[in-house]
Amino acid sequence: MLLGAQAQTGFLPVCDHYSGVEARMRKSLQLQAEMAQELGTCVFDVTLDCEDGAPVGFEADHARLVASLALEAAPTARVAARVHAVDHPAFANDVAMIAGEAGHRLCHIMVPKVESVDDVLQVERALERASAPGLPIHVLIESPAAVHRAFEIAAHPRVQSLSFGLMDFVSAHGGAIPAQGMTSAGQFAHPLVVRAKLEIAAACHAHGKVPSHCVVTEFSDTVAMQAAARRAAQELGYTRMWSIHPAQIRPILQAFAPQQDDIENASKIIAAAAQADWAPISFEGVLHDRASYRFYWQTLERAHHTGRALPPSVRPWFGASAVVPS
């Protein structure tokens, strides 16, 4: 009722964790289960990677491995797969093998180097042939031309999320953007990179999709990781971010989670609104109506999906999995 026509395609975990080596893929799924048990909800997706994980010449074997790992995952696991780009020789087999064998276990499929809606349509047809027509599509925007078409791509009903591919985007400029533009700090300073990020975020919000921020390659630098995640969330409008190392997951959760004071305030406003049957209310001398209720409800959703404690007044709306404050 609160979200109405502005509802997104679905609230996704704020972290999307990528791994492509078998041992790391297995450890990632194990870590996902452990943190879900700890925090009361699944706080990150695990994306099994074919594009960067498959050895050259052994793409079919790797796709078979990804399908088997998805099938072995726990029923409550959120597991996805990144296939090769649509113009790669392995693309068709990736989709046929992974979506055909394990499509019912996947939360989405990620497609890199998407340039236009035509690429999305090609993915859609491949999923139909694999008998996985309902599988959500996530796309990776990695070139200036793709950024230009971001609104068109985001408008496609099967697309659930757009991600920004920083390193390929910088490389596509033929040296016009310096290497500093790929660093944790530089990517927030160069105008062309920032513009691309903003275009993708705006396209997603215009069409109710989820904008997912790019990786930070300095995975051993926790301070840089937290700073980048915080800026992505607070300055650029991103609601999700990639992780490429287990040490990055908790900093992303922390950066994208609401502060405890914000959670308490949102809980009070939503509880008061519910008592008023969602009519306008005055709370601490400030008028609130459904527009602000929507904002505060989304604050509580983010808190829940990042494993934050919810006050008793709103906890029943989030079921038994809501974390009980200590």
Calpha distance 111→127 (Å, rounded): 12
- Give the annotated binding-site residues for substrate: 82, 142
For residues 170 and 195, is the Cβ–Cβ distance under 8 A? no
Cα Rg of the chain, angstroms:
20
- Give the annotated binding-site residues: 82, 142, 168
For residues 304 and 41, is the Cβ–Cβ distance under 8 A? yes
DSSP letters spanning 277-293:
TT--EEETTEEE-HHHH
Could you tell me where the beta strands, DSSP code E, fall in the chain?
15-19, 44-49, 79-82, 106-111, 137-141, 159-164, 210-213, 240-243, 281-283, 286-288
For residues 63 and 89, is the Cβ–Cβ distance under 8 A? no
- Give the annotated binding-site residues for Mg(2+): 142, 168
Calpha distance 145→211 (Å, rounded): 18
